[in-house]
C-alpha cells in the first residue's frame, strides 16, 4: 500500500476444527466436541512506504511487500508478515494476483503459508443429562494451546467506490497441520462427569470479511 494511505478491515472467523473430549460418565460412552469460539477481527492499516505496512486492531501486524504489482511489472504480489495479538502470533508469506474483471470490479486469488502459535478457548454448554441437577446452566471451558502450520486459500473482490477507493469483500478457508496441541487446562461449572481423554482432529477455519482500501493501480500490465 502506498505511503500515507490507510485501509480498514473487519471480519469474522468460524472455526470448523474437529477436536473432542471423551468423558467418564455413568454410561461410559459420552463425548463433547471442542471447537474454539468464533471471533470478530478488525484492523486499521497504514502504508509506511518502501513496501512496509503497519496495522493495529485485534492484532498488531507488520508487513513487507517483497514483490508488488503496483511498484513494478511482476507476475504476482508476494509479502512477508508478522501478526502478534493477545491470543498468539503468526508469521509467514502471502501471495496474491490481481485480475481485472471490468472497469469497476476485480478479483485477487490469495494463498498464504504461515506458522502460528495461539491460545484459544472452547466453551461448551453441557447437556442436562451430564449436568449437576443443582445447576440450571452448566458450562465447560477448555483452553487449547496450538502450534501449527496454516495454509489459508481464498479470494478478494475489489469493487471501485469512486476513483480512489475500493470496497473489498474477502473470504478464505484455512487448513492447518498441527505440530502440537495442549488441551490439559479446563474448568467446569455444574458438570457431572470427569475427563477421560482428549482427541484431536482436523483443524479448519472459515473467515469472511470486508475491507475499505486504496484502489490498486498497476504500473504496468503484468503477465504470468
- For 126-176, the pLDDT digits (tens) are 888 888 888 888 888 999 999 999 999 999 999 999 888 999 999 999 999
Per-residue pLDDT at 118 exceeds 60: yes
Q: What is the mean pLDDT of the chain?
A: 88
Count of CB atoms situated within 10 Å of the CB of 127: 10
Name the pTM for this structure.
Answer: 0.86
109 burial (CB, 10 Å; 0-12 / 13-18 / 19+) is: middle
Nearest residue to 215 (alpha-carbon basis) of 70, 49, 45:
70
Domain boundaries, the chain: 6-212
Looking at 50-153, list the stretches that DSSP marks H as alpha helix, in order from N- to C-terminal side: none
Nearest residue to 89 (alpha-carbon basis) of 64, 59, 56, 62:
59
Amino acid at each position: 500500500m502506498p505511503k500515507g494511505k490507510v485501509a480498514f478491515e473487519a471480519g469474522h472467523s468460524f472455526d470448523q476444527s474437529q477436536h473432542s473430549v471423551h468423558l467418564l460418565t455413568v454410561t461410559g460412552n459420552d463425548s463433547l466436541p471442542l471447537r474454539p469460539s468464533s471471533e470478530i477481527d478488525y484492523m486499521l492499516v497504514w502504508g509506511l512506504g518502501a513496501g512496509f505496512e503497519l496495522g493495529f486492531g485485534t492484532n498488531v501486524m507488520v508487513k513487507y511487500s517483497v514483490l508488488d504489482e503496483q511498484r513494478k511489472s511482476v507476475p504476482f504480489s508476494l509479502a512477508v508478515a508478522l501478526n502478534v495479538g493477545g491470543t498468539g502470533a503468526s508469521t509467514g508469506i502471502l501471495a496474491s494476483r490481481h485480475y481485472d474483471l471490468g472497469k469497476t470490479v476485480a478479483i485477487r486469488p490469495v494463498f498464504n503459508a504461515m506458522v502460528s502459535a495461539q491460545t484459544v478457548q472452547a466453551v461448551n454448554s453441557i447437556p442436562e443429562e451430564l449436568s449437576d441437577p443443582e445447576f440450571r446452566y452448566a458450562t465447560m471451558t477448555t483452553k487449547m494451546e496450538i502450534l501449527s502450520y496454516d495454509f489459508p486459500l481464498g479470494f478478494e473482490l475489489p469493487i471501485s467506490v469512486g476513483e480512489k477507493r475500493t470496497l473489498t469483500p474477502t473470504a478464505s478457508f484455512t487448513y492447518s497441520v498441527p505440530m502440537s496441541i495442549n488441551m490439559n487446562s479446563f474448568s467446569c461449572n455444574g458438570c457431572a462427569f470427569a475427563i477421560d481423554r482428549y482427541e484431536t482432529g482436523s483443524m479448519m477455519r472459515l473467515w469472511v470479511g470486508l475491507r475499505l482500501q486504496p484502489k490498486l493501480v498497476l504500473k504496468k500490465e503484468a503477465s504470468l
